[in-house]
Structure formats: structure tokens, C-alpha cells
Structure 1
Amino acid sequence: MVEDKSKFDMDSEDEDMDDESGFGEMEQSFEDMFENSLRELHAGNVVVGTIVQVNPDSVVVDVGGKSEGVIPLSEFVGALGEEGIKVGDQFDVLIERTENESGLISLSKEKADRQKIWNALEEGAVVDGRIISRIKGGLSVDIGVNAFLPGSQVDLRPVRNLDKMLGETYQFKIIKLNKRRGNIVLSRRVLLEDQRENQRSDTLKTLEEGQVIEGVVKNLTDYGAFIDLGGIDGLLHITDMSWGRVNHPSDILAVGDKINVKVLKFDREKERVSLGLKQIAPDPWLDVEAKYPVGNRITGKVVSLTDYGAFIELEEGVEGLIHVSEMSWTKRIKHPNKVLNIGDDVESVVLALDIPNRRISLGLKQVESNPWEVIGEKFPIGTIIEGQVKNITDFGIFVGVDEGIDGLVHISDLSWTKRIKHPSEIYKKGDLVKAVVLNIDRENERFSLGVKQLTPDPWQSIPTRFAPGTIIRGQVTSVTDFGIFLEVEEGIEGLIHVSEISKEKIDSPKSFAAVGDELEAVVLHVDNVERKIALSIKHLADRKEKAEVDAFLGAQRNATSNFGDLLQGALGKAGTDKDEE
């Protein structure tokens, strides 16, 4: 019994000791919690707070340690909405200040959230962010906290207008992080480069010549467009954009356009890709010969004017040329813009096709009948016409004959006799002129007229009126080293050669006569074909001398004859007298 009692006593003592020991441990735990709570309630710490009261504009939060704080309701409403907050909800809050004058702790949920974000951020991490403003050197991005996106890191290529990105949400990579200073630098370009490299690798595996692939217009130049095929760029040359005329790539494309293109050439080693857009559609020139046969009348639009003609679009990719010489039968067109304007709808005739060289020759004047084909019937050779002088040149005058048709009076056909150095000596523009139709060359479109032909050719009667031996008197019109020109009548001259001036030797014809002098000469010869008259003073002198001799001799003969008659009469009378004796 004693043993049992002692045993019982010992067990009881042990239990009392266990109870005392447990209480001590619990007490120690509460003390540790209190100390920990005090440590957590230091300014700058983030602790768990429980909402104990919701007021109209604030929330009372219990953070333990018999301490409460107040947080503006606006810090909760932004995330949860006013109806989403209720007593008992727990949130992380930041202790800004320990007890203030009212005995409350200054708390902030927003700063706690921000600090949690900062703690979660690390260099190299990929985060979502919204561009909120433009600042010096780049953009400000909200990733939960404000971060800086340099302009050079916005895209693969420099972005000229950063304002258009405001409000947009993208993924960014943190390339610099300084938590102590609160600086974060982002890059979108790094992610795009990685994405592009992955796309490039995939594209290179599948890219083949002849393949039709979708791409995005990346850049435009004067000579073409660069198309992003997915990590690799291809060149779409301006000549491969359309079967028709393209003045500039911007006429049909814009940066950002999605288009289907055909791979024309692919150099895998140099990673160069030549693309075509027009090659996706059939070549319109395959049907040109059937659709536009020679001689057909067609209608098209003027798309370009040059010095030598006008280009007419018959359909997309098919153009023809109206040469300036094919614009009018009669008018001399100096430039196509005198007849046509860009955008005009024009009817023309197909003159020729050159399919290999993709050329179509068109004619505008062929739409109307050729006036040169009927001009001969209207104005037969020999017809006398009257028209205005339209133009004066060194070689003649152009006279208006019919609508758009001018006739040429060559300088040699202005006068039978006058020496005309320039037609302007006689005519001026606008003068009315009568002329005779001499010839019509339909093939070369030439109309020849003559003025002198209105009167008979005086040279036809010259040989009769100025027969050799005829003595004439005229005025000196010119003196040269080889002779003297003498006007025998108006417009007709004869030449006294130096050898026919005098029997005596003279130094020069100029020493014998001057322009304006009147001389007498005898006609030696007339050539009406060459229109030349040969005159001689020397022969005239010989003739006069002979005439004088003949006259003298005649006088002598007459005197002798008279003397003989007298003598014979005297002798006869004497004989008669003698017989009478």
C-alpha cells in the first residue's frame, strides 16, 4: 500500500510538473508572438491586416498587437469595388507610421501592393505593361510600378511617332533593375528580336521559290517595298508590283498592309528573297493579240504624257503608245499635251502589235479619214488657190490651202526674174497670196505651190526679143572680177564677160564701169534653159567701127560713081560736040 501511495504521489507530482511546464511554454509563446508583433509593427514593414470596420470613405484595419489603422477606401475600391469590401477580409498592408496622435497606425494597401510587386521583380523577367505617357527619351510604362522604356527599345526599327503607342499594352523584358533607387528599364525590342529570330528560323525551313506566302509591308522606298515574311525580309520591286503602271509603291501599298506575294528568287546562303505581287495574277499580255487585233478601234485612258507621245491604258497591265506623229493628219503637234490630258478617255486605232516587247502602237488621227487622200480631187494640179501666209522660212512660204493643210511656195517659185535672198523681202505672215497648185505628194504629205506660174515665163520669148546681134542698152546691176551684169529689162540680166568689154587690156571690170552706169552692148547668145544672155561691148565697138568703115567706103563708092557718071557724061558730051563739028 505504501508503495502504491508513493507511486501515486509521484505520478501526481509528475502531472503537476507537466501542467506547470505546459503553462510556462504557452506563456512563453504568447510573449514571443507579442515581441514578433512589435517587430512587425515597425514603419516600412508589410503585415497582414484584417478589416474590422468599413466607413463611407475609409477602412479600419486591425494589424495585431492591439493596434488598428485607417486606410482610405479609395485604395480598395480601385481593385475590388466598394461592394467587394467587407469586415473580416484580410490584406497585406504597409506600415507607414506607428501610432499617431489619435493612437492609430498609418497604413497603406497600395504601397504594400507596390512593394510586393517590387519584391517579385527581377532582371530578365518578362512582364505585361501599359504605356501611359511620353517622357524625355522614351515612354513611361505601368507594370504595377512605373518603369522606363527607352525610345530605342520600343520596336525593331525606330518609331517616329511614339504618341500613337499611348494606351497600348505589350509585353516587356526588364533589362535593368535597381530596387534601391526604384529604377526599372524595359525593352520591347529584345522580345521582338527573339520572336523574329524564332520566326526567321521557321520561315527559312519552309521558304521555297514559287511559293505564295503572306507578308507584312515593312518599309517603302522609291524602287520597291520590303515585306516581312516572318523573321526575314523580302524585296518586292516596283516592276513586280503590278502588270500595270506604278509611279511609286505608295500608290498601291502602305506600311503595315498584309499581302500575299510570290517567291521569285531565294538565295538561301545570303538569305535574299525577291518577291512578286503581279505574278499571282495571270499575265494580261497573253490575250492581247486576240483582244486587240491590228485595225480595231479601242478606247483607253491617258495615263502618261511624254515629249514623243501619250501612253494609253487599255486595261490593267496593258498600255499602248500614240506617237506624236499619229495624233493629227494635218497639224504639227509640238507636244501631246496640246491635244490630250492625263485622265482623258481616248478612242484610237491599233496600228501594230509587238507582243515579245509588250508594245502596242496606236493612232489617234486614224479615227478620222485622211484629208490627204481627197485633197488631190479638191485641188487638182493647175488650180489657182488663195490663202494666208502661215509661216515664212529661209526656203519659202507656207500658205494655208485647206483645214490643217498648208502648201509650200519654194523661194525659187516666187518670181521668174527677181533674185530673192529671203521670202520676207516680199511677204509677211497673214498676207493673202494667190498661187498655182504645182504638185501633191500624198505619201509624204507635201503640197507644192507656185506664185510665178501665175504669169507666163518671160524667158520663153527672150530668144525672139533679144536675138543675137540685137543692140541693147541697160543699167549695170553688178560688177565682178569676171564681168559686168547689165539689166536688159526688169528682172532680166545679161553678162558682159571681161573678155568682151574692150579690145584693149583693162585691169578690172570695176575700172571700166560701176553699178548704176548705163552701157550699150550687143547680144552674142541667149540660153533660155540656163536663163543666160551673153553680151559684148567689144563686138559692139567692132560693129560700129565696121559700120563706120562701110559707111565711109559706101560714101567713097558713091562719090566715085558720081564722078564717073560726071566724067562719062562729060566725055559723052565732048564726043557729041566733036561729031557735030
Structure 2
Amino acid sequence: MSIDTQGHTEEHEESFAELFEASLKERGGEGVLKEGEVVKGTVIQVTKDFAIVDVGYKSEGQVPLAEFTNAKGETLVKVGDPVEVLLESRENETGMVVLSKEKADKMRIWDEISAACERDELVHGMIVGRVKGGLSVDIGVKAFLPGSQVDIRPVRNLDQFIGKDFDFKVIKFNKKRGNIVLSRRVLLEKQREELKKDTLLKLKEGAILKGVVKNLTDYGAFIDLGGIDGLLHITDMSWGRVGHPSEVFNVGDEVRVVVLKFDPQTERVSLGLKQIQEDPWHRADEKYPVGTRVKGKIVSLTDYGAFIEIEQGVEGLVHVSEMSWTKRVKHPSKLVNVGDEVEAVVLDIDPKAKRIALGMKQIEPNPWTLLEDKYPIGSVIKGQIRNVTDFGVFVGVEEGIDGLVHVSDISWTQRIKHPGEIFKKGDEVEAVVLNIDVENERFSLGIKQLHQDPWDTLAERSPIGSVVKGKVTKVTDFGAFVEIEEGIEGLVHVSELREERVEKPSDVVKEGDELEVKIIDINTVDRKIALSAKAVLSGEADYRDYMRHQGGDMGKARLGDLMKKFNR
């Protein structure tokens, strides 16, 4: 038997080696500890910073205590606990084996994931954050979830998934590179196909189904019926107005809808929500008979009126002409705005055409019906001229009510071509009430009626046969017009200018000449006066002598001819 320098025999060395090998095998070793391998050990001591672990090597190993501490800072290991650790290094500067429980756990997880991939099993994990192109998932180790694999439909906001747990399918695994790619979409598609089979059995026109709002667009909402989506168009959401689907739904809302149309070949489904409820127009005529006073909200304005929603799905039109008794409304926005709460009266209703005619002015008494009592015919009013036109002037009677003084009612005697010759906007005038037409909303006034018609008393002031002086205002081929009073003219026919025959009146008189004439006839109805200059010149005493001189009936005929020319 040989003995070494330490006093051990070779036999003892061989025996010790066999025992060490056997010990390693019991602890999970393979005879010789190798760096990078996972071995079993036992905690023999816990210090402030480390857990001392016996792995059957000639020296113990140490594991940072932080690897045995949970999120609350609690130490989860004690002396005697069995552990699996990774041998990182045989010995460090203190002569101890360097071990890692954390790395051993990860290696074990990698093995488990690898096994799951081989068996085509799912893995469970939590989405912990965003990374370039997708999300980071903790499945024991960090894995990558591409954005395209998060859901069946593209997801705009990936942050909504952070902190949530899901099952995933491993679609790429490379242990050497530490690369794991996951998919949630694959699972959802599989689930969707299974749901779709059941849903297709229920899909038929008229069926009422439950669904979840999956997506909102400007024109409607897509409803997940269970493996198949249907479109709920914005016009089928409510009997009332819907500006945007987001006014009615949020993504994720559960809804009951009715199938309006289903095409098995294309698998397109049209859905309705309002069809589950009764159309409010069906009994609208019973609920809103003509004359009913209603309240509602202005929902739309047009050039010709305002639409009022009196209940969801029932709107009526107030025409611009039905907004005010007195105001001339050029556009509804001058009186109301969208969103205003207003009152109105039902003027007409047609449920089949889904039309209601409303009036806002009918809420108040018609001021035109009160005018006859306030302003009886013949009464005098005072007001400002609000407008001057070719045919007359409008005088303000009340707020929104004007009376018209026609050009023919401005003066008894003046020939007025345009009222603007006498009046301007803003002038204050007095006028007499001539007529009130309530139905057509017309108020007629007269200014000349403030004074007596001078023609009524002309015969008293200037009786037939009297001689008066006047000024020639106009000379024509058939005679001369002479103004005998302000605004009152008479005609001196060419035959009445001289005793001798006159071919051209302009040879005898001219405009502006003063002329003494005799009144030979007065027609107050037609406002015409026949005058004679030759009667004054001949010195005839009266109209009878004149008539006898003309020869009785023949004279009357000539006077008739004279008046006809005068009328021209």
C-alpha cells in the first residue's frame, strides 16, 4: 500500500472519489460539477446578503438573498430548504462556489416552454409593457407579442392591454437566442370559428340577438354577434336623429339587435335597433291632433324653417312664415338656435308621410285681429315712415306692423310721380285708417284724407259761370291747361281760346301765362273742369247765353267732345 505526502493511502483516495461521485449523483450531479449546469442543493445558512447552499462540492456556494425575496421584501428561504441553482463559477475570490437560483428558474422555464411547444400547448402570461412593434409579455421569461397578433382586428391603442393576463400561442421559439414570439390572435380566431358555427344557426331575418359593440364608424357600428359581425347602420339606431354612433354607443357595450337582412354567401348581416321598438309615427295623429300645443327642441335649421323634435323620432317643421305674426323673418336663425327649447302648435299632420306642420306664432294671439278694435276705420294714427317705395310709403303702426299710404292717397290735388319727392325714411306723419285686411295682413292708410277733398266744395267756391284767374301749366294741340287753384286745373279747349278759329293753341298762349277764364262745366266725379277764355273776351253774361250761342244740343255735344279730349 502506498502512502502520499499527506499520509493518505492511494486506496483511501480512490474510496473518497467514489463516495463523492455517489453524492453528486444523489444531488442531481453527473459526477463532475460543470459551470452553466443546474444542480440540487440544500440551504445550510442564511446571512444578511446571501443564502449559503451545499451542492456537494468541496466548498459551499452562495446565492444573493435578493433572489429569494418577493415583491413585498419578504425572504422566502430558510435553513434546510432544498433548492435548484445554476453553477455560475466553481470558486470566487472567497473560495466559494458562485450560484444563481434566478438563472436556474429561467432555465427551467425555458425547458417548460420548449416542452409546451412540442406538445402544442398554450402558455399563460401578463402583458407588462410596450416595445417597438408590439408588447412585452412575462411568461416567466420575457416574450414578444407583435401588434398584429394582439387581436383579430388592428388595435390602435396597445396600452389598454398592459397589466392584463391572457393565454398565448407560441409561434416562434429559439432557446439559444432567447427569442420567443407569441400570438393571441390565433386563439381568438379559433374561438371565433367555434362561436360562428353556433351563431350561423341562429341567424335569420327577424331574429333578435345579443351582441357586443366591436367598432364605431361615421356611418354605423359593427356588432360582434359571436364569431360573425353585423353592421348596425346609423339610420337604424334610433327613430330620432343620431349625429354620430358614439352618441349612442361605446365600444364594448352589450346590445340587443334584430336581424334585418342576412346573406349566407357573403355572410353579411344588417342589423337594426330602432325596429325593436314601435315606430312613434304610427299613432302620432292620435297623440298630436291639429291644434295641440307641444314642446320640443330645435334640432335643425334651414333657409325655409326650423325642425323641432317633439319626441324621439318625431319632428315637425315650423315654416319661416309661421314663426312670427309681425316680424319679417329672413332666416330662422334670427329667432332661434339649434338646441333651443320652444313651444309650438300643430297646424297639420300626415303620419304616412311622417310630416307635421307646426306654428310658433300661434302660441300668441294674432295682433292683426286686435287692430280693428284699436284702430277703427277713420281714426287718425301717428308714426314714422319706415320705407319709401314707388307705389307709396310704409308707416310704422306697431312693432312689426306697418300701414301703407298708397301714392294715390297722399294728396287730393298733387300729381305725385314718386313719394320720395315729398317724404323720406324717418319722417313722422299723421294718417287716417282706411282699411284693415286681417286675413292678408294689410293695413291701408291715407294722408290726403286728413283734409276735406277740395273738389267737393269747388262748385261752392267757383260756381259754373264764374270768372277766375289762373296760370297756364301746359299747352297741347287741343288746348291749354290752366291751374285755377293750387293743384286744381281746368282745360281751355282750342275752340274756347278765341272767337276766331285757332289752329295752334301755342300761337295764342304759352306755359306760364296768366289767363282769365270762365268756368263752363265741373265734373267732380272725374275731377275735370271745362274753361273758356273767349267767353270772358266776348263779354257774355252767363252760361245760358253761352249755351244758346252754341245752339242748344249741339253745344252739349261739343262740350262732350271737349271733355273727352280733356280726359286724354
TM-score between both structures, scaled by the size of structure 2: 0.76
- The answer to whether the Cα contact below 8 Å between 1:56 and 1:73 also exists between their aligned partners in 2 is yes
Aligned to 2:229: 233
Q: Residue 119 of structure 1 aligns to which amino acid in structure 2?
A: D
1:164 aligns with 2:156: no
2:104 to 112, 116, 128: 112
Of residues 437, 441, 444, the one that matches 1:441 is 437
d(CA) in 1 for partners of 2:224 and 2:191? 13
Kept in 2: contact 1:209–1:265 (CA 8 A): yes
> Secondary structure at the residue paired with 1:286?
coil
In the alignment, which of 362, 383, 390 is matched to residue 387 of structure 1? 383
Amino acid at match of 1:349: V
Instruction: Look up the match of 2:557.
Output: none
Q: CA distance change for structure 1 residues 454 and 79 in 2, over 3 Å: closer, same or farther?
A: closer
Report the Cα distance in structure 1 between the residues aligned to 2:435 and 2:407, rounded to whole angstroms: 15
Match of 2:33 among 4, 23, 41: 41
Rg larger in 1 or in 2? 1
- Aligned pair in 2 of structure 1 residues 440, 181: CA closer, same or farther (>3 Å)? same
Q: Check if 1:292 corresponds to 2:288.
A: yes
Quote how far apart the aligned CAs of 1:64 are. 2.9
Distance 1:38 1:203, change over 3 A: closer
Corresponding residue to 2:146 among 141, 150, 156: 150
Match in the other structure for 1:208: 204
After TM superposition, give the deviation of residue 386 of structure 1 in Å. Answer: 2.1
How many angstroms apart in 2 are the aligned matches of 1:296 and 1:215? 41
Sequence identity, in percent?
60
Q: What is the alpha-carbon distance in structure 1 between the residues aligned to residue 62 and residue 479 of structure 2?
A: 136
RMSD: 4.2
CA distance in 2, matches of 1:200, 1:287: 40
- Once the 2 structures are TM-superposed, how far is the Cα of residue 104 of structure 1 from its aligned partner? 2.0
Instruction: Indicate conservation of the 8 Å contact 2:285/2:350, yes or no.
Output: no
Are residue 311 (structure 1) and residue 307 (structure 2) matched?
yes
Offset at residue 59 of structure 1 (A): 1.8
TM-fit CA distance, 1:306: 3.9
Q: What amino acid sits opposite 2:50 in the alignment? A: S
| Residue aligning to 1:277 | 273
- Cα offsets for 1:283-318 (capped at 9, x unmatched): 333333333222233334444444433433333333
How far 1:520 sits from its partner (Å)?
6.1
Give, in angstroms, the shift of residue 114 of structure 1. 0.9
Which AA in structure 1 matches 2:471?
A: G
Equivalent residue in structure 1 for 2:134, among 134, 138, 146: 138
- Indicate the larger mover: 254-263 or 361-370: 361-370
Whole-angstrom distance in 2 between the partners of 1:332 and 1:93? 94
Between 322-331 and 120-129, the greater mean CA deviation after superposition: 120-129
C-alpha distance 419-217 of structure 1, shift in aligned 2 (>3 A)? farther
Please list, as runs of the form range in 1=range in 2, the aligned pairs for 1:6-21 lying within 5 A after superposition: none
1:97 maps onto 2:89 in alignment: yes
Which residue identity does 1:98 align to in structure 2? R
Q: Aligned partners of 1:481, 1:255: CA distance in 2, in Å?
A: 94
Contact 1:415 / 1:451 at 8 angstroms: preserved in 2? yes
Residues 397 and 72 of structure 1: CA distance in aligned 2, closer, same or farther (over 3 Å): same
User: How has the CA–CA distance of structure 1 residues 79 and 307 changed in structure 2, closer, same or farther, with 3 Å as cutoff?
Assistant: closer
Shift of residue 111 of structure 1? Answer: 0.9
How many Å separate the matches in 1 of 2:46 and 2:375? 115
Which residue identity is paired with 1:77?
A: T
SS in structure 1 at match of 2:204: coil
Displacement of 1:471 in angstroms is 9.1
1:77 to 69, 85, 101: 69
Paired residue type of 1:223: Y
What displacement does 1:467 show?
7.4
- Where does structure 1 lack aligned partners over 5 or more consecutive residues? 1-25, 549-581
Is contact 1:474–1:489 with CA below 8 Å preserved after alignment? no
- 1:127–1:172 contact (8 Å) kept in structure 2: yes
Alignment of 1:474 onto 2:471: yes
Tell me, yes or no, if structure 1 residue 217 matches structure 2 residue 223.
no
Amino acid at match of 1:187: S
Match of 2:170 among 152, 157, 174: 174
The residue that corresponds to 1:187 in the other structure is: 183
Question: Which residue does 1:365 correspond to in 2?
Answer: 361
Letter in 2 for 1:61: V
Structure 2 unpaired stretches of 5+: 1-14, 540-568
Counting only pairs closer than 5 Å after superposition, residues 518-537 of structure 1 correspond to structure 2 as 518=513
1:326 corresponding residue in structure 2: 322
Q: Which residue of 2 aligns with 1:568?
A: none
SS at match of 1:474: strand
Structure-2 change in CA distance of 1:432 and 1:83 (3 Å): closer
What CA distance in whole angstroms lies between the structure 2 residues aligned with 1:452 and 1:491? Answer: 13
1:249 corresponds to which of 245, 249, 268: 245
Q: TM-score under structure 1 normalisation?
A: 0.74
Contact 2:234 2:245 (C-alpha < 8 Å) held by counterparts = yes
CA distance in 1, matches of 2:55, 2:480: 141
Deviation string 1:182-233 (CA, Å, 9 cap, x unpaired) is 2222232333333333333332222122222222222223332222222222
Tell me the distance in 2 between the aligned counterparts of 1:170 and 1:499: 122
Q: Deviations over 1:443-464 (max 9, x none)?
A: 1121111112223444567799
Q: How does 1:452-531 map to 2 (within 5 A)?
A: 452-458=448-454, 474=471, 490-491=486-487, 518=513
8 Å CA contact retained: 1:468, 1:526: no
Task: Indicate how the Cα distance of structure 1 residues 547 and 425 shifts in structure 2: closer, same or farther if over 3 A, else same.
Answer: closer
Aligned residue among 417, 420, 428 for 2:416: 420
CA separation of 1:94/1:279 partners in 2, compared to 1, >3 Å: closer, same or farther?
A: same
AA partner of residue 353 (structure 1): I
Q: Could you say if the C-alpha distance between residues 170 and 421 of structure 1 is closer, same or farther in structure 2, counting changes exceeding 3 Å?
A: farther
Q: Are residue 50 (structure 1) and residue 47 (structure 2) matched?
A: no
